[in-house]
Amino acid sequence: MHVNDYVTTFFATSTPGTDKEPTIAMDLTLVIVKLYLQTNGNIEKKMGDLANIAVGYWPFYLVPINSNNAYLLEGRGLYTEKIQTRVIPTKIPAISQFLDEGSIDRFIGSIDKFVAKMEGFKNFERDEKKIDGLIPVSAFLNYFVNFFKDIKKPYMDCSWSVDPSISDTAVKYAHEEILKIFDDEPIDLVKNQQAELDKLCEKWVGKLDTMIKEQEQDPVQSLKNKGEWMFPELAGPADSMLENLRGSIKEIRATSKNEDVKASINLADQAINTNSEIAKALDDYRNNLKNIDDKIAQEKSSIDSERKYWQDSIDGIRRIQERMRQAAKGFEDQENILRKKFLEERTISFKTNKVATCGMPVYLLNFLKKGKQETTVMAPIILEEVRTFHKNPYKEPKGFSDFEKWVTESFLKTQNAFDVQQNIKKQDIFTLPDLQIKVSNGIDDMLDLGYLDKKKHREIRDEELHNLFKKG
- Determine which of 14-28, 168-182, 235-249 has the lowest per-residue pLDDT on average: 235-249
pLDDT at residue 337, rounded to an integer: 97
pLDDT of residue 366: 92
Confidence of residue 132 (pLDDT cuts 50, 70, 90): very high
Largest CA-CA distance found in the chain, in angstroms, rounded: 172
* For residue 84, pLDDT beyond 80: yes
Rounded CA gap, 338 and 182, in Å? 9
**Higher confidence at residue 181 or residue 415?**
181
| Cβ atoms of residues 414 and 4 within 8 Å | no
Q: Tell which residue, 28, 40, 10, 56, has the closest CA to residue 468.
A: 28
- Please say if the pLDDT value at position 310 is more than 90: yes
Least reliable range by pLDDT among 111-115, 119-123, 253-257, 329-333 = 253-257
Residue 344's alpha-carbon distances to 22, 70, 80, 338, 438, in angstroms, are 26, 11, 19, 10, 38
CB 128 within 8 A of CB 96: no
pLDDT, position 257: 61
| More confident position, 271 or 419 | 419
472 has a pLDDT exceeding 50? no
The gap from C-alpha 299 to its chain's centroid, in whole angstroms, comes to 54
Tell me what the pLDDT averaged over the chain comes to. Answer: 88
**Model confidence pLDDT, tens digit, residues 408-454:** 999 988 777 788 888 888 889 888 888 999 999 999 998 988 889 89
Query: Predicted confidence band at 159 (pLDDT cuts at 50, 70, 90)?
Result: confident
432 touches 24 (CB < 8 A):
yes
Instruction: Establish how many alpha carbons lie within 13 A of residue 311's alpha carbon, considering only the half-sphere containing its beta carbon.
Output: 9
Give the C-alpha separation, 8 to 409, whole Å. Answer: 21
- Res 252 pLDDT > 70: no
Q: What is the mean pLDDT of residues 118-135?
A: 96
How much is the pLDDT for 248? 63
Average of per-residue pLDDT across 41-70: 93
Burial pattern 366-393, b for ≥16 Cβ within 10 A else e, equals bbeeeeeeebbbbbbbbbbebeeebeeb
Question: What does the buried/exposed string (b/e) look like for 10-36 if buried means 16 or more CB atoms within 10 Å of the residue's CB?
Answer: bbbbeeeebeeebebbbbbbbbbbbbb
Measured from the Cβ of residue 67, the count of other Cβ atoms closer than 10 Å reads: 8
* Overall average pLDDT of the 381-408 stretch: 87
Query: Cα separation of 2 and 75, whole Å?
Result: 11
Residue 163 is given by DSSP the state: P
How far is Cα 106 from Cα 97, in angstroms, rounded to an integer? Answer: 14
Q: For 355-374, what is each residue's pLDDT tens digit?
A: 999 999 999 999 998 888 88
**Which of 31, 54, 55 is closest to 43 using CA atoms?**
31
pLDDT band at 193 (very low <50, low <70, confident <90, very high): very high
Does the pLDDT at position 22 exceed 80? no
What length does the chain have? 472
- Sketch the domain layout of the chain as residue ranges: 213-315
